[in-house]
Structure 1
Amino acid sequence: MKISIMEKVFEETKDALFLIDGNTCIRQNKAANDLASSYLLPLEKVLEIAKGEGCMLHSTMEKCLDCEVRADWDQAAFPLVLENLKGGQEQFSGSYTMIDQRKTLLSIRRLAVEDRLQQVIQNKRLIEYVNQAHENERRVLSQELHDGLAQSIYSLMLETRQLKWCQQTEDLSIKLQKIDEDFVALLGEVKQLAMDLRPTALDDLGLIPAIETLLHRLTETTGVVIHFIPMIENKRFPDRVETITYRVLQESVMNSIKHAIVDELFVTLSEQAAHLVLTVRDHGKGFDIQKVTEFSQGLGLLNMQERAESIGGHLTVHSEKSEGTVVTLRLPIQWEVLK
């Protein structure tokens, strides 16, 4: 029987190829046979991974947030970890292609040494960036403590020392009243600093109430009207999802207030295709994204992007001069049941 050119290519290609009908493998090439004989290859699980429905490393998707196999990959090239017969783990790259309504082609190949080296370099750069971000946060906190709390405490200390020189009862009463007011202001500074470090509403009440509290406070302090439209009910999300969403919102809103020259903003929070989607929109003066990306980090765009990508999310910024800016954050949802 004569073998066609396509069949010959299928058999001799170096990638492991599996022809799938429904969820059943109806044909595989020599490389696929070699792969199956050298590695634990539960095909049903691999197909779940290819479709974004499962994880090779964990039994449930709730545990799959930071592992090598994430839930938001591209089917044209998704990461895969297989266990060899000695119990070691090796990284592969897979692709999943629709042929017709029933048949699909699954392709698996071992990552080249260069690809693994590039991944190590990328991880190293990410660690360096995170460390630098921590240092920057410590620097800001140190400055806040020195210029804010320390100066307020020193001022109160001087006012308290002056009490012993006060001769008249009326003057003493006025100065005590002034010291009491300064203590109230100092307490407000401490509470504000604590809220900036970690908003208690985020831990106690959840993401939507924390956002409402933040936006209400910013409206009071800046005069900018911020319209918040939550299109989901008040549910709890994993801690990192809530924290990243809150911080990106905080950064985006402050950017619009500082740079866009607007008197109102629009914020929406929704769920789309198993992702939590946050949008911050203004109709301000806009900016040139390319110039900001190349020459400035003043808007914190890199920081927001790195936060999103740290858990497999994605951040997009669309801006046009005189038209405004739209920041969109997409984070994969990992539902948690909180009792």
Structure 2
Amino acid sequence: MEKKGLELLFEEASDALFLIEKDRCMKQNKSALELEQHFSIHLNKILDIAQGKGCMLHSTMENCLDCEVKADWDQRAFPIVLETTSGKQEQFSGSYSQLDSNKSLLSIRRVATEDRLQQMIQNKRLIEYVNQAHENERRALSQELHDGLAQSIYSLMLETRQLKWNTQTNDFNEKLQRIDEDFVSLLNEVKQLAVDLRPAALDDLGLIPAIEALLYRYRETTGIEIHFIPVVPNRRFADSLETITYRVLQESVMNSVKYADVDELWVTLSERENHLVLTVRDHGKGFDLQTVNEHSQGLGLLHMQERAESINGHLEIHSEKGEGTTIILRLPIGLEGIK
């Protein structure tokens, strides 16, 4: 009777249960059969993970070694990813128990999609993006130094050498004036590079003057009319809050300039319920957020979200094709956030 009760408990369990003997499935319950109807179950790989031979990112220990996922895992609750028949991936939690020297029990249950391990994978993806972004920035800076500054300096060097042998020519003063103008232009290039790397106005004057300087530069270089409406007093905030607000604005405006096909933008900065709120709005092409997130260009949006979440903030993105895009950044000010 007790045996029948255990068998009934096994059959009716909500978890998918697999009775394993010598690495082969000898019996499975109803939930396991239902799971196999919708997902591809590679039992050998799951058992490798259960027995410590890999993790959800790496199916073998040779690849896994001691990665951050494996370090946070044990046999009582380890993460696995299963793929549906249509190719969609979903996250599950597995549990593995040794019943005797020959038999063991594998349990699989569905877990919430936004648990800690999924966040870890997202962070791993973000780290790869950030590293790539840093490399792209270094490449762009290197190119700018080589093609811009280096070439300008070389041209000036040739011009000054020519003056050394032509001091008596009639156009000597005119050439000297031109060299002086070129030096001024070169100095402006150096200053612009410094601003792109880290705006001095953000450190010296604060967030609102830095935003005004940034948007003025965008107006001059793109011809787009950008309306800035600050509804907060010009005061200082925490370094992290000012930097994140500035960088998210920078990314948002550049996305509108590149992809929205607009000639006008609206930027507002306000304070609501002890939060600093930045809004960037355009009436451009718009886009499908889900489609963008599935491709590499969605990593820029992910990067903005991660910046906001790093100080317990929140980023909202509203966009429809043909209706434009609105980005709303909310960052907590807090008493500790005021300089």
TM range (shorter): 0.5 to 0.7
Structure-1 separation of matches of 2:314 and 2:133:
19
Per the alignment, residue 267 of structure 1 pairs with 267
What letter matches 2:272 in structure 1?
Q
What letter matches 2:230 in structure 1?
P
1:203-242 → structure 2 map (5 Å cutoff): 203-242=203-242
Secondary structure class of the residue paired with 1:295? coil
Contact 1:202 1:242 in 2 (8 A): yes
Per the alignment, residue 134 of structure 1 pairs with 134
1:138-171 deviation per Cα after TM superposition (whole angstroms, max 9, x unaligned): 2222222222212221221222222234264322
What letter matches 1:224 in structure 2?
I
1:119-142 deviation per Cα after TM superposition (whole angstroms, max 9, x unaligned): 665655555544443333322222
What letter matches 1:145 in structure 2?
L
Secondary structure class of the residue paired with 2:219? helix
Secondary structure class of the residue paired with 1:217? helix
Structure-1 separation of matches of 2:145 and 2:303:
23
Structure-1 separation of matches of 2:130 and 2:322:
34
Secondary structure class of the residue paired with 1:276? strand
1:18-97 → structure 2 map (5 Å cutoff): none
1:277-313 deviation per Cα after TM superposition (whole angstroms, max 9, x unaligned): 1110011122232332222428832332222222222
Per the alignment, residue 170 of structure 2 pairs with 170
Structure 1: stretches of 5+ with no match in the other structure: 1-114
1:304 corresponds to 2:300 = no
1:229-276 deviation per Cα after TM superposition (whole angstroms, max 9, x unaligned): 111111211101100100111111122122222221100111223221
Contact 1:208 1:234 in 2 (8 A): yes
Per the alignment, residue 19 of structure 1 pairs with none
Secondary structure class of the residue paired with 2:286? coil
1:157 corresponds to 2:157 = yes
Secondary structure class of the residue paired with 1:237? coil
Structure-1 separation of matches of 2:222 and 2:122:
40
TM-score, normalised to structure 1, is: 0.60
Per the alignment, residue 246 of structure 2 pairs with 246
Structure-1 separation of matches of 2:268 and 2:184:
35
* Superposition deviation, residue 336 in structure 1: 4.5
TM-score, normalised to structure 2, is: 0.60
Structure 2: stretches of 5+ with no match in the other structure: 1-114
1:185 corresponds to 2:185 = yes
Structure-2 separation of matches of 1:288 and 1:124:
24
Name the % identity: 78
Secondary structure class of the residue paired with 1:143? helix
Are the structure 2 counterparts of residues 285 and 118 from structure 1 closer, same or farther at C-alpha, using a change threshold of 3 Å? closer
Secondary structure class of the residue paired with 1:249? helix
- Of residues 312-321 and 278-287 in structure 1, the stretch that sits farther from structure 2 once superposed is 312-321
Q: How many residues align?
A: 228
1:39-68 deviation per Cα after TM superposition (whole angstroms, max 9, x unaligned): xxxxxxxxxxxxxxxxxxxxxxxxxxxxxx
Are the structure 2 counterparts of residues 120 and 337 from structure 1 closer, same or farther at C-alpha, using a change threshold of 3 Å? closer
Contact 1:289 1:319 in 2 (8 A): yes
Q: Which has the larger radius of gyration?
A: 2
* Superposition deviation, residue 321 in structure 1: 2.0
